[in-house]
Amino acid sequence: DEMRRDLEIMSKLTDNIRIYSVDGSLGDIPKLAEEFGLRVTLGIWISPDQERNEREITKAIELANTSRSVVRVVVGNEALFREEITPEALIVLLDRVRAAVKVPVTTSEQWHIWEKYPQLAKHVDLIAAHVLPYWEFIPVDKAGQFVFDRARDLKKLFPKKPLLLSEVGWPSNGRMRGGADASPADQAIYLRTLVNKLNRQGFNYFVIEAFDQPWKAS
C-alpha cells in the first residue's frame, strides 16, 4: 500500500523517521517500519480534544512496548506554542508516559519554548527542539549559523540532557519572509550546508519533511 511504498523510499535515504500521531492508520507505521529496518520516533498528537489525547496516549504506550522499531516517544508537537495545553498539564502527561514505557520520552517544541519553560527538562529524557530559520525571517546565508547558535544555547541551558533537533528544514515554495526565500535553490543550499555540518558535529536531527506538502506553500 501507499505507506509501505513511502517507507521503502525513505529506507533508502535514512534509517530514522519521525511521525507526529498514532491516530488511525498512522498507528500501523511502527510495525511496517520494522520491515525496512527503520527506527521510529513516535509522536502523540496533543490537542484540546481530550478524548483523542487519551486514545493517542494509550495507543502510543502499546506501540512503544510492543514494536522494536520505536526508539523514543514524543508527547505533543508544539502544543505549548499553540497554547493548547498548559505546562503543568503537559508535565502530567510526560510523567505518565515515561512511567509506562522503557524508551526515552520528550515533547517537541520550538527552541524558545524550551527557554520559556525550562521546568519541562526535569520531566523528559532529552530536549527535542524545532529550529526553523525561514519562519524566523533569517536569510539562507545566515540560516545555518542560526541553527547552531540555538543548539549551543539549548546545550548550555540543559547541559545534562541530550539534544535532538527534531525539526530542521527549509521550504521549496512559499512567500518571502523578510530575507528568507522559499525556493528549491535556497532549500538545496541550506540543507546541503546544514546537514553536512550537523553530521560532522554529531548532532541528531530530523529534516522536515520527507514528502512535499503543497498546502503549506500558502
pLDDT digits (tens, 9 = 90+) for 150-174: 999 999 999 999 999 999 988 888 8
Contact between residue 73 and residue 105 where contact means Cβ atoms under 8 Å apart: yes
Q: Please tell me the least confidently modeled range out of 39-53, 67-81, 98-112, 178-192.
A: 178-192
Q: Please tell me the least confidently modeled range out of 12-16, 181-185, 214-218.
A: 214-218
Distance CA 21, CA 25 (A): 10
Mean pLDDT of the chain: 93
pTM assigned to the model: 0.92
Looking up cell 514505557 gives 101
Those residues whose C-beta lies under 8 Å from the C-beta of residue 27, and which sit 6 or more positions away, are 59, 63
Element spanning 196, H or E: helix 184-200
Contact between residue 195 and residue 203 where contact means Cβ atoms under 8 Å apart: no
SS3 130: strand
Contact between residue 160 and residue 196 where contact means Cβ atoms under 8 Å apart: no
The answer to whether residue 126 scores a pLDDT higher than 50 is yes
Contact between residue 138 and residue 180 where contact means Cβ atoms under 8 Å apart: yes
- Count H helices and E strands in the chain, helices first: 7, 7
DSSP 201: T
Contact between residue 148 and residue 169 where contact means Cβ atoms under 8 Å apart: no
pLDDT digits (tens, 9 = 90+) for 30-68: 999 999 999 999 999 999 999 999 999 999 999 999 999
Domain ranges of the chain: 1-109, 131-218
The torsion angles phi and psi of 137, rounded to 5 degrees, stand at: 65, 30
The pLDDT value given to residue 210: 58
